[in-house]
Amino acid sequence: MQKIGFIGLGIMGAPMAGHLIAAGHEVFLYSRSRVPPELVDAGGKACGSARDVASHADIIITMVPDTPDVAKVLFDTDGVAEGLSAGKVVVDMSSIAPVETKQFAERINALGCEYLDAPVSGGEVGAKAASLTIMVGGSQATFDAVKPIFELMGKNITLVGSNGAGQTCKVANQIIVALNIEAVAEALLFASRMGADAGKVREALLGGFAASRVLEVHGDRMVKRTFNPGFRIELHQKDLNLALSSARAAGVSLPNTATAQELFNACVAHGGKAWDHSAMVRALEFLADFEVGGGG
């Protein structure tokens, strides 16, 4: 059994840490808010700082919202870096900027430790079911050493390349997800406005070439009007900002990604930053003055 640290115990992090505890690992826990008592009851060990976690664990996992949060957890006073000793492994499973990820890896490597960027896809459902997709950047040897831990949290686990490649893959994932949400939203809004039953249309489309996980899960949310996260719009906005800023620096045009971001922006303007990202449909509904289901 391994000594594992887990920092960041929100919607995604708490169930992920729970799987590690359930597998019998000694898991040291820290969160800016309190450590969930159910994780302690299950055998997890609450710590007072990120530094304490790093001093006790051999593999330290971070799962926090954004690039500045990772920087603080790793390098601020009482951060992970202060508790590291040579030979330990830091695994960032947050979704953050690829460029900064490479810089973080260099700083951790300079302390004699290894670094993996390993962002995930699958949302709260995947975190609870231990079925996350995990996209990893780092060395083959470090990936091989940590892979049994990843397998307790996910199913599709891929070493994409060196440090930063995992985060680049996650940004690409978020582009695809956002554009799929937009496509499903347009289709169901169109069908509903034309007088068809959006729920029946969704069922029919799931049997054809238009079938997708987004149509299955988020299409159902759109029809049933269930927009509690899930994955918050403000977090998907953050990911699309990474896509657009990185693309701008690389001289790449992402016109439909920009449109999806504007639709998220419209949702936020209507008080929806904490809505599930499937609620992008509401921005299109505002434009049409009509709701999926005919409640316009």
Q: Which two tokens stand for residue 88?
A: 């330990």
CA 95 to CA 70: how far, in whole Å? 10
Which ranges of the chain does DSSP label H, i.e. alpha helix? Answer: 13-22, 37-41, 50-56, 67-75, 80-83, 98-109, 123-129, 140-150, 165-193, 198-205, 213-224, 233-250, 255-269, 280-288
Residue 26, beta-bridge partner list: 3
Q: Which two tokens stand for residue 31?
A: 């969160």
CA 47 to CA 82: how far, in whole Å? 14
CA 1 to CA 245: how far, in whole Å? 41
Considering the candidates 170, 200, 224, 273, report the single residue annotated as catalytic. Answer: 170
Residue 170 bears catalytic tag = yes
Angle (CA) 209 214 216, round 5°: 75
In angstroms, how far is CA 223 from the centroid of its own chain? 24
Return the exposure string of 169-190: e unless at least 16 CB atoms fall within 10 Å of the residue's CB, then b: bbbebbbebbbbbbbbbebbbe
Distances in whole angstroms, Cα of residue 149 to Cα of each of 20, 67, 115, 138, 229: 7, 23, 15, 15, 26
Helix 165-193 to helix 98-109 angle (10° resolution) is 150
In angstroms, how far is CA 33 from the centroid of its own chain? 19
Q: Which residues are catalytic?
A: 170
